[in-house]
């Protein structure tokens, strides 16, 4: 069930060959949200989230998720993943998990951003991949109700952040 839609102010930054932790950056995409929250529990109704996708000069990616003010018990872990499509009024609009065409294990083909909230409701996750997220279609990040299991499942969809700057 769709509970809220937020206006979004996203900033797109293009950085040409600037060093960051020993990596040359090719581009950076920063998105804020969530645009939608789902369900009836309301953990993310007043929360804010920032997702940044950095494509490195060597063709890899670093994806970060920062969540603030989630209304959840300290120590609770949520799953989060890059999804195939943009957000919509229903959580299913984002489609399945984005997968890179690779022969590695499931976690290596997907972007898993599980995070644990602290007493203030803040959490952070980071994933590094040796490949770039395909930007030929709009994508999103879904926050799920449970930590990611080895088969990639993570429970109900609670919130969605569109990855802006992707065509």
Residue with tokens 């898993």: 112
Q: What is the Cα–Cα distance from 148 to 80, expressed in whole angstroms?
A: 8
Domains of the chain, with CATH numbers? 2-163 (2.60.40.200)
Model confidence pTM above 0.85? no
Mind listing the pLDDT tens digit of every residue in the chain (167 residues)? 444 443 222 222 222 222 233 334 345 567 888 889 998 889 999 999 999 999 888 889 999 999 999 999 999 999 999 999 999 999 999 999 999 987 689 999 999 999 999 999 999 999 999 999 887 889 999 999 999 999 999 999 999 999 976 43
Residue with tokens 């993310």: 44
């Amino acid at each position: 069930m769709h509970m809220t839609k937020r206006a979004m102010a996203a900033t797109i930054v293009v950085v040409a060959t600037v060093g960051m932790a020993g990596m040359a950056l090719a581009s950076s995409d920063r998105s804020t949200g969530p645009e939608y929250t789902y369900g009836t529990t309301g953990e993310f109704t007043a929360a804010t989230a920032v997702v940044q996708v950095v494509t490195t000069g060597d063709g890899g990616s670093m994806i970060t998720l920062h969540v603030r003010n989630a209304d959840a018990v300290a120590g609770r872990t949520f799953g989060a993943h890059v999804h195939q499509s943009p957000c919509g009024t229903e959580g299913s609009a984002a489609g399945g998990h984005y997968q890179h065409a690779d022969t590695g294990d499931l976690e290596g083909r997907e972007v898993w951003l599980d995070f644990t909230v602290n007493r203030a409701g803040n959490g952070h996750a980071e994933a590094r991949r040796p490949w770039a997220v395909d930007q030929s279609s709009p994508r999103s990040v879904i926050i799920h109700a449970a930590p990611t299991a080895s088969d990639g499942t993570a429970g109900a969809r609670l919130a969605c952040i569109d990855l802006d700057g992707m065509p």
